[in-house]
Chains A and B, each alone.
Chain A
Amino acid sequence: MNAPVKKNVVKEPSMLRQKEMIAQHFRDLARAKEQGKKVVYTFVPGNLTELMLSFDCLPLHPEINALQSGMRKLSGEYIAEAERAGHSEDVCTYVKCDIGMMLKGNIGPTGEKLPEPDLLLLSYTGCFTFMKWFELLRERYKCPTAMLHVPYQGEGHFTEEQVQYVVDQLRSEIIPKFEKVTGQAFDIDRLRDLLGNSARAEEDLVYVLESAKKRPSPIDAYFGGVYYIGPLFTAFRGTPAATEYYRMLREEVDARAAAGQGPITPDGLLDEERFRLVVEGPPNWTHFREFWKMFADEGAVVVASTYTKVGGTYDRGFRHNPERPLESLAEYCLGCYTNLNMPTRVDMLTNYVKDYEADGFLINSIKSCNSFSAGQLVMMRQVEKRTGKPGGFIETDLVDPRYFSASNVKNRLESFFQMLAQKGQEVPA
C-alpha cells in the first residue's frame, strides 16, 4: 500500500511567489467585468499572451483550470457532470472537466467565479480537440471567436512562407478582432516591450531547465518542471512579474546546485539521485503528488521532459524577439511541442537522453489525449534503438481519477526502476 502523502508539503520560495501571482490573476479575473477588462479564453500551446496583454486583456486558460481542478480533486465531479450532459467517456478529460465546471457555475480554482469570455482565441497548434472544445464554448457563450491557423510541422521545420502565412493572419484576422473587442488600437511598441520581457524570462527558464545536466540535478524537470513553466506558459509571459519570478527561480536553483543538492520534492530535499530519467507525455494531475512520490521514493529524478515544451520549445533556441514582433510570435506558435511531427519528437527525446545523461526514459501515455499518445510506442522503440537506453511505458490520464490506478502504476514503475538497476549492473548468468 502507498504511504499516505505527508501533510506538510515543502515548497520552494519561487513556488510561493507563483502561487501569489496566480491568486492575484484570479482576483483580477473575478473583477474583470466591473473594471471593464476584456477576458480572452485561450490555450497554452501557441498562446499569444503578449498580444493579449498589449490590448489589456486578461487571459484565461481552460486546460489550466482543468488541471487545477484535477489537483484539487474536483475533476471527477466535473467530468461526471459533463457526461450527464451527454459527453462521451472517451472524450478528452480536460474538455469534460472544463464543461462540467462551467455547468456547475464556473467557479475557478481559487473559489472565485470565473468571468465569461469576451473572445475565444484559438491558436491551432496540432490539437484538433482544442478546436472542438471552443466550438462548444462558442455555442454556450455566443461570443466572438478568432482562430489562428498554425501549419503543422510535418516536415520537421517551418518555412518562410509558413511564418508569413501566420503573420498575415495576425495582421488581417487576429489583431483587428482584438481591436474590435477591446476598442483599443494595436500598439506595436507596447508589444515589443512585452516581448523583450519574455525573452529575458525565457533565457532564465532555459538556464533552469538545463541545470538538470548537472549531477545531481538540482531540479526535477517534470514534476518540478510543471511549476517552473507556469508563469511563462500562461497569463504572465511578458510581464515584469514573470521576469522577476524567473530571476528568483534561477538564483534558487543556482544555490541548490552550488550546494550539490538535488531537487525539492513535496517531502523535502531529495537525498540521493539513483536514476536520471527523460519523460514524455503530460503528468497525471489527479494524483500528482502521489505520482511524484513514486519517483522520488526511488530516487528517480526527471532530468528532461517534453511536456515542459508544450508552451514553447525554448531550449531549442527560440526566443521572442522585440525586433521581429509578429514574426517571432508566428515562429513561437509553429515550434510548440504539440505542433511537431514524430521524427522531431524522437530527435528531442534522443537528444535529451544523451545530453542529460539519462539512465532511461519513460512514456506516460494519456488515455484521453490522442494528440499526445498516438504513435508513442513507435517513438519509444526508436528512442531505445538510438540511445541504447531502456524505455518504460505507463498509462494514466490527465484529470479523470478513474484512469489512475495507483497500484498498477506503482507496480510498473517499480519494475521499470528495478530493470534500470539490473541493466546498470548486468549480472552474468
Chain B
Amino acid sequence: MKCTIGIDLGSTTTKAVVLDEEGLVLGRGITNSRSNYDVACEVARTEALLDARFHLFERTVGDDPDLREKAGPFIEALRRNFQREQHLQQIGELEELCRAHARDTSKGVQRALDGIFEGLRTESEDLFGPGRKPRSDFFRDIAGSRYMALAEWWARKQEVPYETLYGLFDKSIIAVESRPPSTGLQESMAQALGRTLGEWKTEEELTQRLKSGVEQAILTNLTEVRTVGTGYGRARLPFPRECIRSEILCHGMGAHATFPETRTVLDIGGQDTKAIQIDENGIVERFQMNDRCAAGCGRYLGYIADEMNVGLHELGPMAMKAKRPVRINSTCTVFAGAELRDRLAAGQRREDILGGLHRSIMLRAMSLLARSGGIFEQFTFTGGVAKNEAAVAALKELVEENYGERTMNISASSIYTGALGAAIFALREARGERTPEPQTTGGAQ
C-alpha cells in the first residue's frame, strides 16, 4: 500500500502522520524532540507507521460482520498491551542506565533503585490495565512523575539523599528518549497480542480470525512515496530541501483538513505561537507569530511543571481547580520561577496561581490573534497546549469576551495538525497536483 508522510519537527515534540492514497489518516506518531533530530524523526515516523498497522487491522476487521462488534474493544486492548510492552522495555533501558550511573554509589542507593524499578514495573500492570489510559504520550512524563514519587519514599526508607536518586533519573532519561526505535517492534506486538488473547474470552474460531487480521496488518507492505517535513527544526530535517514546508502553511492546511469551515487558526507549540488566517481552501491569507520572545508558549508550562515538580499533563487539571485565579502579568519564562515562588510564599494556592498563569498565556495569544486580524468563524485551536483543559477554558472565555460567540474547534489529535498539513502537501505532490513551489534554501546543510 502506498502512503505519504508528514513530519512536524517541533521544539518540544516531533509528530508524524501517515496518509493512505485516499488522503485518510492511517497512523500518527509522536515523540519528544531532542538534539538529535534524525532520531526524533525516525521515532515519530516509526510510531506513525506502527499506528497505521492498527488502523489497517481496524479496516480489515471492520469488513468482517462477525468481528466488527468485537473489533473495537480488541484493538483497544491490543494497543494498551502494546504500549505496556513498550513502556516495560523503556523501564528496562532506564534501569540499565541508572544502574550504570550508580555503579559507585552506596548499597542504600542500589537498594532504593531495586525498590523503585520493582515499583514501576508493578504499577505498569495497573497503568495499562483494562479501561485505563495513561494521561501522557511520553515515557518521560509517565515514568518520571512515578519515579520521583517512589524515589522520595525509598530515599527516606534507605536513608539516602533524594537528590542522588533524582540525579540518576535526570542523567539517564535523555538517553532513553534518544535511543532509536527498538528493533523489537514485531516481538512487542507478538507479546501484546499474546497477552490480549489471554485476556480475551471468546470462541476459538473468532480469536483465530482476529489473530490473523493482526498478522495481516503487520505484514502489509507500506510504501512511503513522499515525505514532507515542517516545524521549528525543519531546516534540520533529514530529507531534501524540496520536501520542506513552512509550519504556517502546514498548520493552515491541517486545520482546514480537520475542520473545513476554519478561517482562523491558533497554534500554541513549544516555542511558537502562531495566529493564522486561512481562506476556504486552507490557503494562508496572513499570519502573525511571536517574535524575539517565547513567553507564554508551551515551554513556559513545561518550566512551571518542573518548578512545581509535577508532570506537564497535571497542570491543566490542577488549574481547573482554581477558585480565585491570581492575576499574573508576566509570562516571561525566565521570571516564571521567581513569580511562582513569590506567590506561594505569599500564601496563595497552587491551583489559583496556575489558573492565573493559564489565563495570562492566553492573553498573549489573544494579542497575537488580534494582530493577525481577529478571530473569524470558525476558529480552530491546535498544538500541544490545546490538550490542556485549563488553557482551553481560559481561551474560550477570552474569545467570548472579545469577539462574542465563536465556534471553537479542537481536535483530539490537534497536536498533529502541522504534520497532517505536511502529509497533505506530500500527497498532493505525489499525485502531481500543483502545490507551492518548494523553498530553495534552509535545507539540511
Contact = CB atoms under 8 A, between A and B. Distances in A.
Contacts of B373: 381
B208 interface: no
22 contacts: A294-B441, A297-B441, A381-B373, A384-B286, A390-B285, A393-B288, A408-B289, A408-B291, A411-B246, A412-B289, A414-B441, A415-B249, A418-B249, A418-B436, A419-B284, A421-B436, A422-B283, A422-B435, A423-B285, A426-B281, A429-B256, A429-B282
A297 B289 contact: no
B442 interface: yes
B219 to A, nearest CB: 34
The 10 closest A-B pairs by CB, nearest first: A415-B246, A415-B248, A421-B436, A297-B441, A395-B291, A422-B436, A418-B246, A419-B284, A429-B281, A421-B437
B286 A390 contact: yes
Contacts of A415: 246-249, 284, 287, 289
Nearest to B285: A390
Given A415-B249, A418-B249, A422-B249, A377 B371 contact: yes
Contacts of A429: 256, 260, 280-282
B231 to A, nearest CB: 10
Contact of B434 (A298, A418, A423, A427): A427
Contacts of A184: none
B158 interface: no
A401 to B, nearest CB: 12
Nearest to A293: B441
B428 interface: yes
Contacts, number: 89
A395 B287 CA distance: 13
B391 interface: no
B245 interface: yes
A411 B434 contact: no
Interface string A321-359: 000000000000000000000000000000000000000
B181 to A, nearest CB: 26
Contacts of A259: none
B235 A408 contact: no
B292 to A, nearest CB: 6
Interface of B: 232, 235-236, 245-249, 256, 260, 280-289, 291-292, 371, 373, 428, 433-437, 439-442, 445
B445 A427 contact: no
A419 B435 CA distance: 11
A422 B435 CA distance: 7
A67 B15 CA distance: 43
Contact of A418 (B248, B280, B286, B291): B248
A391 interface: yes
A14 B441 CA distance: 30
Contacts of B247: 415
Contacts of B286: 384, 390-392, 419
Contacts of B292: 367, 395, 403, 405, 408
A414 B291 contact: no
Interface string A7-49: 0000000000000000000000000000000000000000000
Given A414-B442, A415-B287, 10 more contacts: A1-B445, A298-B439, A392-B286, A395-B292, A414-B246, A415-B249, A418-B245, A422-B284, A422-B436, A423-B285
A176 interface: no
A429 B279 CA distance: 11
Nearest to B232: A411
Nearest to B245: A418
A172 interface: no
Contacts of A384: 286
A294 B236 CA distance: 17
Contact of B445 (A3, A411, A417): A3
Contacts of B285: 390, 423
Interface residues of A, number: 36
Q: Which of B232, B260, B286, B433 has the most CB of A within 10 A?
A: B286
Contacts of B260: 429
Given A377-B371, A414-B246, A425 B436 contact: yes
A394 interface: yes
B440 A405 contact: no
Given A414-B246, A427-B428, A1 B235 contact: yes
Nearest to B281: A429
Contacts of B232: 411
A3 B445 CA distance: 8
A428 interface: yes
Contacts of A422: 249, 283-284, 435-436
Contacts of B434: 425, 427
Contacts of B433: 427
Contacts of B445: 1, 3
Contacts of B371: 377, 393
Q: Which of B249, B292, B435 has the most CB of A within 10 A?
A: B292
A396 to B, nearest CB: 8
A417 B285 CA distance: 12
Nearest to B246: A415
Q: Which of A390, A415, A417 has the most CB of B within 10 A?
A: A415
A265 to B, nearest CB: 13
B18 to A, nearest CB: 20
Contact of B442 (A367, A395, A410, A427): A410
A76 interface: no
B442 A425 contact: no
B293 to A, nearest CB: 9
Interface string A382-408: 001000001111110000000101001
A423 B285 CA distance: 8
A299 interface: yes
A222 B30 CA distance: 43
Q: Which of A1, A274, A395, A411 has the most CB of B within 10 A?
A: A411
Nearest to B289: A412
A418 B439 contact: yes
Given A408-B291, A414-B439, A419 B235 contact: no
A377 B285 CA distance: 15
B72 to A, nearest CB: 31
A309 B435 CA distance: 37
Interface in A237-285: 274
A423 B439 contact: no
Contacts of A425: 434-436
Q: Which of B235, B287, B442 has the most CB of A within 10 A?
A: B442
Q: Which of B246, B287, B371 has the most CB of A within 10 A?
A: B246
Contacts of B256: 429
Contacts of A428: 281
Nearest to A420: B436
Contacts of B442: 410, 414
Contacts of A408: 289, 291-292
Contacts of A421: 436-437
A326 to B, nearest CB: 44
A365 to B, nearest CB: 9
A381 B372 CA distance: 9
Nearest to B282: A429
A274 B289 CA distance: 24
B278 to A, nearest CB: 10
A298 B284 contact: no
